[in-house]
């Protein structure tokens, strides 16, 4: 196993724990007046990567799939020890986005069905604007910080982050925004034209310098969420701070941002926060296909160069992206 993958896994885990380490204070009053009206002063906030906690059997089925490994995406796995729990992760890598999968028995992502959405800014300094916007929409108690990357020889600046989640335990849906340090790629001696904030360690290990066959998976372009009312309101306030445009479509609320649509419905007790992902493909598949990974994950390839992942018990799966 490549050492850089272990490094990114450890750093991602530390970030998740750091983002949730403070006790949540009493909720401040939230002024939602006109908060969903986009403003030209708001910087672009892109989807960076998504994590999802699945049952162990489903993760094993995805890990063992030759199609996923050899045809669908650039594939990586990691195991990290020395933290409070030993844990493993699977990475399905696109061109600018990534899906990270955990199993609950060893997961930093929490219980089955828990999920996280990481966004990233485009330009240096944008994260300070986002921090101010989040404080306007959600009150003053917004966490921010920075982290470093262990190159093996030294620690170098990696990225800054902001998050509205301040609970000690990882929430069922964790969201945050990162902004990579402009000196990071130079410090680790890596050159890339890709817009990557947090995933550069995975790039180093999973993207060889020599040419390699192009995989089907291009990027995540849509996410469908099932949320409690409180989670929905918090997410709506966050996406408003990012400048996402809100509308209703097919019984769902749709938030549109740069190259991504986030669709959400409200449920009293959702089992899985992420119900489906829509992915663009680099080419049309040879033929439409549907692949099942146990009883709780399905990958559907369509003729229009699109892939749909659906998650959760099959009777409740849907793909509305």
Q: Read off the CATH number of the domain in which 50 is found.
A: 3.10.180
The answer on 226 and 202 residing in a single domain is no
The answer on 222 and 173 residing in a single domain is no
Residue 163: half-sphere exposure toward Cβ, Cα within 13 Å: 27
Spatial distance between the Cα atoms of 106 and 81, rounded to a whole number of angstroms: 10
The answer on 237 and 199 residing in a single domain is no
Domain assignment present for 263 = yes
The answer on 194 and 238 residing in a single domain is no
The more confidently predicted of residues 41 and 282 is: 282
pLDDT surpasses 70 at 4? no
Domain assignment present for 212 = no
The pLDDT assigned to 84 comes to: 56
The pLDDT assigned to 174 comes to: 95
pLDDT digits (tens, 9 = 90+) for 125-146: 999 999 999 999 999 999 999 9
Residue with tokens 């849509």: 222
pLDDT surpasses 70 at 302? yes
The answer on 265 and 166 residing in a single domain is no
The answer on 197 and 95 residing in a single domain is yes
Domain assignment present for 27 = no
Helix (H, G, I), strand (E, B) or coil at 272: coil
Helix (H, G, I), strand (E, B) or coil at 278: strand
pLDDT surpasses 50 at 210? no
The more confidently predicted of residues 292 and 85 is: 292
176, two tokens: 């945050």
Domain assignment present for 235 = yes
The pLDDT assigned to 109 comes to: 66
The answer on 200 and 85 residing in a single domain is yes
The answer on 164 and 49 residing in a single domain is yes
Mean pLDDT of 8-26: 32
The pLDDT assigned to 82 comes to: 52
Spatial distance between the Cα atoms of 62 and 19, rounded to a whole number of angstroms: 28
The pLDDT assigned to 149 comes to: 86
- Banded pLDDT at 79 (limits 50, 70, 90): confident
pLDDT surpasses 90 at 14? no
pLDDT surpasses 50 at 28? no
The pLDDT assigned to 103 comes to: 85
Spatial distance between the Cα atoms of 166 and 141, rounded to a whole number of angstroms: 8
The helix-helix angle for 229-241 and 126-138 (nearest 10°) equals 140
Residue range(s) defining the domain that contains residue 85: 3-22+42-206
Lowest mean pLDDT among 56-60, 79-83, 116-120, 155-159: 79-83
The answer on 257 and 108 residing in a single domain is no
The pLDDT assigned to 35 comes to: 38
63, two tokens: 């890990």
The pLDDT assigned to 153 comes to: 84
The proportion of the chain whose per-residue pLDDT surpasses 70, expressed as a percent, equals: 73
CA angle 74, 276, 170 (to 5 degrees): 85
pLDDT surpasses 70 at 122? yes
The answer on 224 and 194 residing in a single domain is no
Domain assignment present for 31 = no
Of 206, 225, 250, which residue sits at a domain end? Answer: 206
pLDDT surpasses 50 at 21? no
- Banded pLDDT at 105 (limits 50, 70, 90): low
The answer on 293 and 179 residing in a single domain is no
The pLDDT assigned to 106 comes to: 58
pLDDT digits (tens, 9 = 90+) for 180-204: 998 887 787 765 544 444 444 444 4
DSSP assignment string, 129-183: HHHHHHHHHH-S--EEEEEEEE-SS-EEEEEEEEES---SSPPSEEEEEEEE-TT
Mean pLDDT of 237-261: 96
Average pLDDT along the chain:
80
Q: Are strands 155-163 and 87-93 parallel, antiparallel or unpaired?
A: unpaired
Domain assignment present for 211 = no
The answer on 226 and 192 residing in a single domain is no
Secondary structure of the chain: what % helix, strand, coil (to 5)?
A: 25, 35, 40
């Amino acid at each position: 196993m490549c050492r850089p993958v272990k490094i990114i896994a450890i750093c991602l885990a530390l970030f998740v724990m750091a983002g949730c380490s403070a006790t949540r204070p009493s909720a401040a009053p939230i002024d939602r007046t006109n908060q969903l009206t986009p403003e030209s002063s708001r910087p672009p906030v892109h989807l960076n990567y998504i994590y999802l906690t699945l049952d162990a059997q489903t993760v094993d089925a995805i890990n063992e799939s030759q199609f996923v490994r050899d045809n669908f995406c650039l594939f990586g796995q990691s195991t990290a020890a020395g933290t409070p729990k030993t844990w493993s992760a699977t990475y399905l890598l696109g061109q600018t986005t990534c899906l990270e999968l955990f199993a609950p028995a060893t997961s930093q992502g929490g219980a089955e069905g828990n999920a996280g959405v990481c966004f990233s800014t485009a330009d240096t300094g944008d994260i300070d604007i986002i921090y101010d916007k989040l404080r306007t929409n959600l009150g003053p108690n917004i966490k921010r910080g920075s982290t470093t990357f262990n190159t093996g020889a030294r620690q170098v600046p990696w990225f800054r982050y902001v998050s509205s989640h301040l609970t000690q335990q990882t929430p069922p849906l964790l969201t945050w925004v990162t902004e990579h340090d402009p000196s990071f790629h130079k410090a680790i001696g890596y050159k890339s034209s890709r817009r990557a904030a947090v995933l550069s360690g995975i790039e180093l290990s999973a993207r060889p310098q020599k040419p390699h066959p192009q995989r089907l998976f291009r990027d995540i372009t849509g996410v469908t969420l099932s949320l409690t009312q409180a989670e929905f309101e918090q997410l709506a306030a966050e996406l408003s701070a990012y400048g996402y445009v809100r509308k209703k479509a097919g019984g769902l609320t749709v938030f549109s941002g740069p190259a991504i649509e986030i669709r959400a419905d409200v449920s009293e007790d959702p089992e899985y926060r992420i119900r489906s992902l829509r992915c663009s493909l680099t080419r049309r598949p040879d033929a439409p296909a549907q692949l099942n990974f146990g009883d709780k994950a399905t990958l559907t390839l369509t003729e229009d160069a699109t892939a749909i992942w659906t998650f959760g018990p099959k009777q409740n799966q849907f793909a509305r992206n």
